[in-house]
Amino acid sequence: MLAKQVLLSACLTGIALAAPAPLQERQVAGYTNADATFAQTPSPLGKIATTFGPDSQVPADPTPIVPGPPRRSSDVTGATSHGPYSGTPTTTGAVSNTVTGSTIPALPPNPTATYYNPNGLLQHAQPAPYVPFGGLGTNGTQPRYMVNSDFDFESIALGLYQEWIELDLFNNGLAVFSAQDFLDAGLTAEDRAVIAFMAQQESGHATLLSNMLGEAAPPQCTYDYPFTNVREFIDFNQKLTRFGESGVWGFINHLDSREVGQLLAQSIATEARQQMTFRQMLGLHPYPVWFETGIPQSWAWTYLAPYISSCPENTTRLAWQNFPALHILNQPNPNRFSPNDTKMNEVVGSRPIDPSKADIPEEESCVHVNVTGYSCGPAISRNRSEPLSFPGKRIFFSWDDPGQKVGPNNSYVTSTEAGEPKFAAWVSQLNLTYTPLTVTGKNEGWTTQPGAEVYEGDPAVNGTMFVALTDSDLFLTPFNLSIINPHVRALGMYQAG
Ligand SMILES: *[C@@H]1O[C@H](CO)[C@@H](O)[C@H](O)[C@H]1NC(C)=O
Ligand SMILES: *[C@@H]1O[C@H](CO)[C@@H](O)[C@H](O)[C@H]1NC(C)=O
Ligand SMILES: *[C@@H]1O[C@H](CO)[C@@H](O)[C@H](O)[C@H]1NC(C)=O
Ligand SMILES: *[C@@H]1O[C@H](CO)[C@@H](O)[C@H](O)[C@H]1NC(C)=O
Ligand SMILES: *[C@@H]1O[C@H](CO)[C@@H](O)[C@H](O)[C@H]1NC(C)=O
Ligand SMILES: *[C@@H]1O[C@H](CO)[C@@H](O)[C@H](O)[C@H]1NC(C)=O
Ligand SMILES: *[C@@H]1O[C@H](CO)[C@@H](O)[C@H](O)[C@H]1NC(C)=O
Ligand SMILES: *[C@@H]1O[C@H](CO)[C@@H](O)[C@H](O)[C@H]1NC(C)=O
Ligand SMILES: *[C@@H]1O[C@H](CO)[C@@H](O)[C@H](O)[C@H]1NC(C)=O
């Protein structure tokens, strides 16, 4: 018995020696004061490579490239036509049919939403080995990657409108600005290659979304952009991708089709990276938040529509609402080393996500400054000694009346069902925070930037985020935020950090 045990443990030792060391043995000890107890590699810095070949030949087999299915749009190079629309639309308003109620009523929790696990053990019999009970789409039914309701269709069609503008926009900036223009903004040929790659990603996303919609999938439209230089182009991109991403987070978990949600999540993960990259190209912190927020579809459509000038005849129309624009008069300008010094209305136009003006005097700009804390040239991350905004900052607003024609062929009309605005609603991270609105004149007023935190140490208001004026301070959370819509009087976007 004893001999056997000895033999067995000897065997195990033998195996342990042959196998890679267990993970914990390869972990390094904790350390403090940047005083690592282990040698760093490479250290010291050796001779830096100057010749790059010939390479080692690695084992390889001749492999043909298997072409993927065609994309709905080929790679665009060169300028496309742009500008405002001046004709008369042949049809007007959001697509609509029989409307059976005036608002969505609030209901108690779903009676089946009762699961709670106090002991960490499985609470139900398992359907198969290693398979815990539950989940949706886990019982072996064949996936169907198609929209499964009007809600799904309208949401994915909105997403497709977004993918199409991005495909055009990223290419357009590369086409209208020179290599030198980009260099002057601190962006190299390699950075332009990233933007060109992003445009190609969009043609893939547009193809995917078109396939999940079917033959009524909207086609590419013609657009009207607000920027006149590279910094404004990048600023516009980081705002546009912000609501593109957040628009999807807002509806993805409400989709009827889990299969569509799956593929959409895999494309929006890419969009999230694009947003981060554009922030970095603008010399902003890549992600000064702990959570990315979700917004309702009508919010995304409100931000997007004003930049679409016309769509081809018979383009599938959307059911979402266009809210009147909220103008943030003292929108912090990320091109200034002192955002406090931002002038009133220092944005290029009056549409909801128009970028901040970059053509400010050089001595007030942070773009070419080479001082930590004050530079906003492209970087992996920047510290701003003077933050773009801070809790307590007074924010001045003006807002439009409803009834304005926006969107493709000016064929949608802004509307609101809200009464007089009483609150500013700050939508960021996991939170909806209201602050009282002080109305100072017709369609004019101010509020104070809140100091709410998500969890301790994480200020809720930061990054590129969303502000609405509302007539009530209804308590809402990320999964029922769209109930805010009948209370929205005007909608804007805020550059908090
Ligand atoms: C499988 O699950 C789906 C929901 O994901 C459900 O609609 C369907 O009825 C289930 N099928 C069977 C055979 O249990
Ligand atoms: C929008 O304008 C374009 C270009 O003028 C035109 O071809 C198209 O038919 C118009 N669509 C609508 C819905 O009016
Ligand atoms: C638009 O739809 C109408 C009605 O279905 C059709 O007659 C017309 O040919 C379509 N136009 C285009 C450009 O597809
Ligand atoms: C920025 O300043 C540092 C330190 O003075 C210097 O080493 C670096 O070359 C400067 N960079 C540029 C782009 O001027
Ligand atoms: C950058 O900001 C962080 C966090 O606010 C701070 O801890 C750090 O000291 C700053 N670094 C520089 C170089 O300013
Ligand atoms: C910006 O304004 C705030 C509020 O008046 C002030 O506390 C802060 O010090 C200012 N920032 C700088 C760098 O002066
Ligand atoms: C946003 O985050 C950055 C980086 O952590 C921080 O320096 C800045 O003060 C924050 N802004 C606000 C408004 O909290
Ligand atoms: C922000 O959201 C978190 C997570 O849902 C919540 O715990 C917290 O109370 C919210 N904070 C505010 C100020 O609403
Ligand atoms: C929204 O959801 C929260 C729970 O997360 C609930 O307390 C609140 O009453 C809901 N609001 C409405 C208007 O249904």
Please tell me the predicted confidence (pLDDT) of residue 251: 98
| Crossing angle between the packed helical segments 150-176 and 258-281, to the nearest 10 degrees | 30
> What are 115-146's pLDDT values in tens digits?
999 999 999 999 999 999 999 999 999 999 99
Please tell me the predicted confidence (pLDDT) of residue 80: 73
Please tell me the predicted confidence (pLDDT) of residue 202: 96
Tokens (6 digits) for 9: 């443990």
Binding site membership of 291 for ligand 7 (Cβ less than 6 Å)? no
User: Which residues lie with the beta carbon below 6 Å from any ligand 2 atom?
Assistant: 87, 89-91, 310, 312-313, 409, 411
Binding site membership of 387 for ligand 7 (Cβ less than 6 Å)? yes
**If you measure from the C-alpha of residue 301 to the centroid of ligand 7, how many angstroms do you get, rounded to a whole number?**
28
pLDDT band at 44 (very low <50, low <70, confident <90, very high): low
The backbone torsions φ and ψ at residue 259, rounded to the nearest 5 degrees and listed phi first, read -65, -45
Note the ligand closest to the C-alpha atom of 393: 6
> What are 419-437's pLDDT values in tens digits?
999 999 999 999 999 999 9
Mean pLDDT of the chain: 92
Note the ligand closest to the C-alpha atom of 81: 2
Q: Whose alpha carbon is nearest atom 13 of ligand 3? A: 313
Binding site membership of 489 for ligand 7 (Cβ less than 6 Å)? no
d(CA 449, CA 114): 38
**If you measure from the C-alpha of residue 364 to the centroid of ligand 4, how many angstroms do you get, rounded to a whole number?**
19
Q: Could you say which DSSP state residue 54 is in?
A: S
pLDDT band at 14 (very low <50, low <70, confident <90, very high): very low
Note the ligand closest to the C-alpha atom of 216: 3
Q: Whose alpha carbon is nearest atom 5 of ligand 9? A: 477
Please tell me the predicted confidence (pLDDT) of residue 11: 41
Note the ligand closest to the C-alpha atom of 186: 4
CB neighbours (10 Å) of residue 127? 13
**If you measure from the C-alpha of residue 479 to the centroid of ligand 9, how many angstroms do you get, rounded to a whole number?**
9
> What are 138-174's pLDDT values in tens digits?
999 999 999 999 999 999 999 999 999 999 999 999 9
**If you measure from the C-alpha of residue 224 to the centroid of ligand 2, how many angstroms do you get, rounded to a whole number?**
15
Q: Whose alpha carbon is nearest atom 10 of ligand 6? A: 340
Binding site membership of 431 for ligand 7 (Cβ less than 6 Å)? no
d(CA 200, CA 214): 21
**If you measure from the C-alpha of residue 185 to the centroid of ligand 4, how many angstroms do you get, rounded to a whole number?**
16
Q: Could you say which DSSP state residue 371 is in?
A: S
Q: Whose alpha carbon is nearest atom 11 of ligand 8? A: 454
Please tell me the predicted confidence (pLDDT) of residue 34: 73
Mean of pLDDT values over 38-51 = 75
Q: Whose alpha carbon is nearest atom 3 of ligand 5? A: 383
Q: Could you tell me the sign of the dihedral formed by the alpha carbons of 72, 78, 83, 89, in that order?
A: negative
Q: Whose alpha carbon is nearest atom 8 of ligand 3? A: 314
CB neighbours (10 Å) of residue 16? 11
Mean of pLDDT values over 379-406 = 97
**If you measure from the C-alpha of residue 437 to the centroid of ligand 3, how many angstroms do you get, rounded to a whole number?**
48
**If you measure from the C-alpha of residue 252 to the centroid of ligand 8, how many angstroms do you get, rounded to a whole number?**
21
pLDDT, greater one: 441 or 19: 441
Please tell me the predicted confidence (pLDDT) of residue 405: 97
> What are 319-355's pLDDT values in tens digits?
999 999 999 999 999 999 999 999 999 999 999 999 9
Mean of pLDDT values over 299-328 = 97
Site to probe by mutation for ligand 3, drawn from 221, 311, 314 as the one with most ligand atoms within 8 Å of Cβ, is 314
Please tell me the predicted confidence (pLDDT) of residue 385: 93
Q: Whose alpha carbon is nearest atom 9 of ligand 8? A: 454
Percent of all residues in the chain with a pLDDT value above 70, rounded to a whole number: 91
Please tell me the predicted confidence (pLDDT) of residue 43: 61
Note the ligand closest to the C-alpha atom of 379: 4
Give residues with Cβ within 8 angstroms of 153, minimum separation 6: 147, 213, 216
**If you measure from the C-alpha of residue 371 to the centroid of ligand 4, how many angstroms do you get, rounded to a whole number?**
9
Which ligand 1 atom sits nearest the alpha carbon of residue 135? Answer: 5
Percent of all residues in the chain with a pLDDT value above 90, rounded to a whole number: 85
Please tell me the predicted confidence (pLDDT) of residue 220: 95
CA nearest neighbour of 184 among 333, 386, 383, 359: 359
Please tell me the predicted confidence (pLDDT) of residue 358: 98
Q: Whose alpha carbon is nearest atom 3 of ligand 8? A: 454
Q: Whose alpha carbon is nearest atom 6 of ligand 9? A: 476
Please tell me the predicted confidence (pLDDT) of residue 388: 98
Supply the DSSP string of 388-437, one letter for each residue.
S--TT-EEEEEEPPS--EESGGG-EE------S--EEEEEETTEEEEEE-
* Res. 78: pLDDT tops 70: no
* Res. 492: pLDDT tops 50: yes
CA-CA distances (angstroms) from residue 369 to 377, 386, 467?
8, 14, 31
d(CA 156, CA 101): 24
Which ligand 8 atom sits nearest the alpha carbon of residue 460? Answer: 1
Please tell me the predicted confidence (pLDDT) of residue 26: 60
* Res. 189: pLDDT tops 60: yes
Q: Whose alpha carbon is nearest atom 12 of ligand 6? A: 386
Q: Whose alpha carbon is nearest atom 7 of ligand 3? A: 314
**If you measure from the C-alpha of residue 165 to the centroid of ligand 1, how many angstroms do you get, rounded to a whole number?**
37
User: Which residues lie with the beta carbon below 6 Å from any ligand 5 atom?
Assistant: 372-373, 383
pLDDT, greater one: 275 or 24: 275
Binding site membership of 480 for ligand 9 (Cβ less than 6 Å)? yes
Q: Whose alpha carbon is nearest atom 1 of ligand 5? A: 383
The backbone torsions φ and ψ at residue 254, rounded to the nearest 5 degrees and listed phi first, read -100, -5
> What are 225-258's pLDDT values in tens digits?
999 999 999 999 999 999 999 999 999 999 999 9
Give residues with Cβ within 8 angstroms of 155, minimum separation 6: 147, 251, 254, 255, 297
CA nearest neighbour of 159 among 237, 83, 211, 227: 211
**If you measure from the C-alpha of residue 258 to the centroid of ligand 1, how many angstroms do you get, rounded to a whole number?**
12
Lowest mean pLDDT among 44-48, 368-372, 374-378, 475-479: 44-48
> What are 196-230's pLDDT values in tens digits?
999 999 999 999 999 999 999 999 999 999 999 99
pLDDT, greater one: 372 or 21: 372
**If you measure from the C-alpha of residue 135 to the centroid of ligand 1, how many angstroms do you get, rounded to a whole number?**
10
